[in-house]
Structure 1
Amino acid sequence: MKKICQIHTESPVNLQRPKDVRLILLGLPGAGKSSSGNTILGSEQFRTGCDFLSVSREVVSKHAEVRGRRVTVVDTPGFGAEGFTPEQQFEQLRDAMIECAPGPHAFVLVIKIGRISEVDCKLLQLLSEVFDTDLKYVTLLFTHKDRLKGRSLQRLIETTPPLKELLQKCGGRYNVFNNEQRADVRQVQRLLHTVDLMHQENRRHYTLDMLAEKHALALSLSHSGKSSIGQEVMEFFSNVWEAIKQFFIQIFECIQAWLKRKGIVGNMEYKKMKNN
């Protein structure tokens, strides 16, 4: 398995580094997204907490100059965060893309070391379905490096099949943060270097249109109608976005079901919605 975090000094001579770097942080509640955002930007920009419950209740975008470049970080409520319906979670992901306009250079999936639970594994499997071939825009960020206590992160990866599989699909890209050691600027440099490599390989940032393309082909094969061309186009793209929305809602419903089954989150608002 290729380990990006071990080859940061081997930069391509002509590595193209975007002047503006845009990142969207994803993950379960309490994974350390907000703290990692603060570490990346070098200051307290996002509210943080010390328990499992998500502190972020809405999509928040912050930016700062980091080593001569403008870096934008979009923090999101955790997948399955308490009080949000699946439809609201889809809207938050859409809002994150808007806040990151014209699009992110990378989705950073934040995972807390020491809590690779069954729920985490299910999330990893679902994310593989969400991004599919677009996993080339995803990199993993492990937090709470201090919890390793000298143990091998590679060993943890090898003994967690869903994590290993997702990492392999992501090209082996991952970094490790200790958010209590923000003065160690090397960890941020390594993450940005990973993003630079991704940008050079992908040649462009991610866009909503790229997500739409996943559903457009399937819909185009079955789409037919006798309306005018203008109406057909509008109907077609309306169907595309509705398909995307329903796809993500199904994903979020599955995540919430797993969280509830494990007694981690009791989403009373969602229960009321389902009972109505």
Structure 2
Amino acid sequence: MSASASQSELRLVVLGPVHAGSKPAVCSILGLQDNQLGTDEEKGSKHRGEAAGRQMVVFSSPGWFSSTFNPKKRKEHISSLISLSSPGPHAFLLCVPVDQPADGEAKALDVLKKLFGPSAVSGNTIVLFTHIEELEEDEQLEEYLTTWRKDLLELVERCGGRYHTLETRGGGPEEKKAVEELLEKVEQAVKESGTQHFSCNLFREAEERLRQRQQEMVMQRRKEQGDEEPPTNSPEATEEEMEAVREEAERSICDFDLDVDSIFPSTTVSTSSPAPSFLRGLWEKLIGWIRWLPSLVGRESLLGSLVGLFVGGQYGGMVGATVGSVATEMGRRKTEKTK
């Protein structure tokens, strides 16, 4: 990659599993259809395109920050993320569903901080809210966050107050405008950071290894073509030659010495606590009950207690408390609307 190309393109890393809305987010940014991104949900993918007059590189990374993710696969995904987004992304976009608990996404920010340093979160991460269709028709995202989702607001605060959504009710021009506004927020974050893009020791190491690997590949190609020794008065490899082997070189160095055990000290789920997928399913059912059964509105505390007892353990307490507060806020909003 030439220096000019690296500076002109905008590199984004979209974090989150498919159910969190990461795939539609990538499609919205690049103006693609779902079938153009492939069907493998477990692998990260890199896509080039154009948005709002800017050359874009968007890397989609699955939910490797989950404690249930295979440790070996996790290391491969993180290494791939570093290599494919080198010399460093302009922003990390953390996909956060508005209709689910935020504990998993909070852990994702913890992981980013441990991997790349505090500035990766506070200076270069934007919360990208998804599943906005779950909001009431006349309800704005900001209103929803401030009235009953303090947990999501905490995520936003950790990310320097930056959040956005690409999901619109109007479609067409509104979707295009949403993408433009996102890129403006990315560029503003980069400007405030005082750097050309995010960087840290891992990304600097990645770029150095990439340059070395590119040189090796160019020399090998010359040798195969019968030009074993380049002229003494010419550079070892031109920028054009280096660019031609860039993507192949990126795929060949995806093996970084990462101490994932220190970042993920425990990769097992307690037998006394339900799996995250179960908790998400329970959450969705409870939210459905709260929304559609007004008779539950007057039993907020009881509902939270029952959930805590049913789930059990540390997770039960957290989920029960969250459900109780959600029910209370829902009841207050319904009461206000009927006045």
Superposed displacement of residue 30, structure 1: 0.8
Aligned to 1:108: 93
Kept in 1: contact 2:51–2:179 (CA 8 A): no
Distance 2:269 2:13 in 1: 19
Of residues 258, 262, 283 in structure 2, which corresponds to 1:247?
Answer: 262
Aligned to 1:56, the other structure's residue is in SS state: coil
Alignment match, 1:191: 182
State the partner residue of 1:72: 57
Higher helix share: 2
Aligned-partner SS, 2:190: helix
TM-score (norm 1): 0.64
Question: 1:144-177 deviations in whole A, cap 9, x for unaligned?
Answer: 2222222242344344444322311212111112
Q: Which amino acid aligns with 1:111?
A: V
Contact between 1:28 and 1:81, CA under 8 Å: does it hold in 2?
Answer: no
Aligned to 1:206: 198
- Flag the 1:24–1:163 CA change in 2: closer, same or farther, 3 A: same
Rg (Cα) greater in structure:
2
The two structures, once aligned, show a CA RMSD in angstroms of 3.5
1:59–1:77 Cα contact (<8 Å) kept: yes
Amino acid at match of 2:97: K
Equivalent residue, structure 2, for 1:23: 12
Unaligned runs of 5+ in 1: 1-17, 49-54, 214-240, 266-276
Residue 71 of structure 1: CA displacement?
A: 0.4
**Distance in structure 2 (CA, Å) of the matches to 1:88 and 1:256:** 21
Aligned partners of 2:20 and 2:130 also within 8 Å:
yes
Alignment of 1:149-164 (within 5 A): 149=136, 150-158=138-146, 159-164=148-153
Tell me if the contact between 1:87 and 1:249 (Cα under 8 Å) persists in the aligned partners: no
Match of 1:32 in 2: 21
Partner of 1:85: 70
Counterparts of 1:38-53 in structure 2, within 5 Å, are: 38-44=27-33, 45-47=36-38
TM-score using structure 2 length: 0.53
SS at match of 2:42: coil
In structure 1, distance between residues paired with 2:24 and 2:144: 22
**Deviation digits for residues 107-149 of structure 1, max 9, x if unmatched?**
1001112123544455455556555333211111112222222
Instruction: In structure 1, give the amino acid aligned to 2:152.
Output: L
| Number of equivalenced pairs | 214
How far residue 255 of structure 1 moved from its aligned partner, in angstroms, is 8.6
The separation in 1 between residues aligned to 2:204 and 2:76, in whole angstroms, is 15
Q: Secondary structure at the match of 1:250?
A: coil
Q: What is the distance in 1 between the residues matched to 2:202 and 2:150?
A: 28
SS at match of 2:275: helix
Q: What residue identity is the alignment partner of 1:200?
A: K
- Counterpart CA distance in 2 for 1:193 and 1:76 is 22
CA contact (8 A) 2:65 2:107 kept: no
Change (3 A) 1:26 1:259: farther
Further displaced range: 187-196 or 155-164: 155-164
Q: Percent identity over the alignment?
A: 24
- Aligned partner of 2:135 in structure 1 is 148
Q: Deviations over 1:181-210 (max 9, x none)?
A: 365200100110011101111222123416
Q: How far apart, CA to CA, are the structure 2 residues paired with 1:126 and 1:83?
A: 14
Q: Deviations over 1:88-118 (max 9, x none)?
A: 2132122112111211000100111212354
The secondary structure found in structure 1 opposite 2:20 is: coil
Using the alignment, how far apart are the partners of 1:85 and 1:123 within structure 2?
A: 15
Closer, same or farther: CA 174–246 of 1 in aligned 2, 3 Å: same
Shift of 1:62: 0.3
Q: What is the rounded CA distance, in whole Å, between the counterparts of 1:197 and 1:162 in structure 2? A: 25
Q: Which amino acid aligns with 2:135?
A: L
User: What CA deviation, in whole Å up to 9, does each residue of 1:193-231 have, x standing for no partner?
Assistant: 011101111222123416799xxxxxxxxxxxxxxxxxx
Return the letter of the residue paired with 2:124. Y
**Distance change in 2, residues 1:24/1:83 (3 Å):** same
Determine if contact 1:89/1:249 at 8 Å carries over to the other structure.
Answer: no
Letter in 2 for 1:166: L
